Amino acid sequence: MNVVFLSTYDLGRQPFGLASPAAWLRRDGHEVTAIDLSRDKLSEDAVRAAGIVAFYLPMHTATRLALPVIRRVRAINPDAKLVAYGLYAQLNDALLRERGIEIVLGPEAEEALVAIAGAAGATGATGALPRLQFIQPDRAGLPALDRYASLQMPDGTHKIVGSTDATRGCKHRCRHCPIVPVYDGQFRVVPVEVVLADIRAQVEQGATHISFGDPDFFNGPTHARRIVEAMHHEHPGLTYDAIIKVEHLLAHHELLPLLAATGCLFITSAVESVDDDVLAKLEKGHTRAGFIAAAALCRDAGVTLVPTFVAFTPWTTIHGYVDMLKVVADLGLVPNVAPVQWGIRLLVTWDSRLLELPEIQSVVGPFDAKTLTFPWTHADPRVDALQHQVMSLAGVRAARSREEIFATICELAQVNVLLPSRAAIPYMNEPWYC
């Protein structure tokens, strides 16, 4: 079977979600073409020749970008079987079927995709979340790593970035997280030897830094330790970054010096808020004090903490937003925060646990198929106005430092914040969008 895999967006990284199923299907003897539309144009010839076209939908932005591509692919090849897989495929099953997708799979889709390609009429239905025997991803045919987001270093140089997953899913059930409706507290461990083989292959392609894409690298702290120790032993000059919950930074703080010693340059952590009431509603598992303590632990261990936020929620007040600005500034973390984070608005997606809350039910409108969310309006118009202003400012790519943008945001919020002098930090040159 001739299979085309399409990705529209994956955080500026070479898509693991194309490389992994490509390996499975090629092992089974199928012809595979993997196209990353964030870097290359759609090949109409490849689509015309395909028996299956599979769309990788790991996140909200990727799904929105895929909708017009689905229509275009159907027009090019009316006979191809259209498949969608990934976290946001499962969350938007009904909408995708309305748009012409015939088979919808979740994120653990490799085995089902092999079944679809190998058997006429196979639906790929798997029932419960499957447990796969993971194999090394096959990145052949994808754009070179140097075409993706790079890591900008304080000395003005940059590192070529590879990426991989050591685990998939998450054992936590944060109320606002889109992973929860699919994994519901489950996570899957990718064998150490598979992770190392994928890293080795990317180092051979020029990677000097690895970004771990796990929703939480410390879901399996012993597993994480084995990986970073083995990776550092094999590639002592290789640096890396990972995503770790505040809760886990506190619970496993003894591992932070090991991360620093094995090349970890920064840890991204979804802090979301400094308001304990908001954190409780989101069921984040940490408090304001916990965030402050985690920042100190990372600083003492010599690892940069990169906090991310959901700055605007139905519970956000002007005073609360100003408080967040002050806390981040007091911790000396302003240079660590990508400007877009100051304007992120809470997304209420299909099947979100946020819909359990009466105060969310009372403010959301009907599901919007264009935005793939339940839209909401804040009770205080000033909050929504500030969010639009901040997002307009933060979303513009300009030759302004993070400190300068932060200062302008403080002006919009009508607060004076003293910024301590801080050294520059490494950062990805393509900001995250969910």
Using alpha carbons, list the distances in angstroms from residue 42 to 6, 36, 70, 76: 9, 8, 11, 11
Strands 209-212 and 304-309: unpaired
In the numeric block, which tokens belong to residue 200? 């080795």
**String of DSSP letters for 394-429:** HTS--S--HHHHHHHHHHHTT---PPPP-----EES
CA distance 275 to 322: 11
- Please report, in tens digits, the pLDDT of each residue of the chain (434 residues total): 999 999 999 999 999 999 999 999 999 999 999 999 999 999 999 999 999 999 999 999 999 999 999 999 999 999 999 999 999 999 999 999 999 999 999 999 999 999 999 975 566 555 688 999 999 999 999 999 999 999 999 999 999 999 999 999 999 999 999 999 999 999 999 999 999 999 999 999 999 999 999 999 999 999 999 999 999 999 999 999 999 999 999 999 999 999 999 999 999 999 999 999 999 999 999 999 999 999 999 999 999 999 999 999 999 999 999 999 999 999 999 999 999 999 999 999 999 999 999 999 999 999 999 999 999 999 999 999 999 999 999 876 556 889 999 999 999 999 988 776 666 788 888 766 56
In the numeric block, which tokens belong to residue 336? 């660590």
332: left (phi over 0), alpha (psi -120 to 50) or beta: left
Half-sphere exposure in the Cβ direction for 405 (13 Å, CA): 24
Residues 6+ apart with CB under 8 A from 166: 189, 190, 195, 212, 214, 217, 220, 223, 224, 227
Q: Where are the beta strands (DSSP E) in 320-414?
A: none
Using alpha carbons, list the distances in angstroms from residue 302 to 93, 236, 266, 331, 351: 44, 17, 9, 15, 39
For residues 120 and 52, the answer to whether their CB atoms sit within 8 Å is no
- Given CA atoms 199, 201, 202, 206 in this order, what sign does their dihedral have? positive
CA distance 368 to 92: 11
CA distance 160 to 147: 9
CA distance 313 to 122: 43
For residues 81 and 102, the answer to whether their CB atoms sit within 8 Å is yes
Please give the pLDDT value at position 431: 67
b/e 238-250 (16+ beta carbons within 10 angstroms → b):
bbbbbbbbbbbbb
Using alpha carbons, list the distances in angstroms from residue 66 to 70, 228, 348: 6, 35, 20
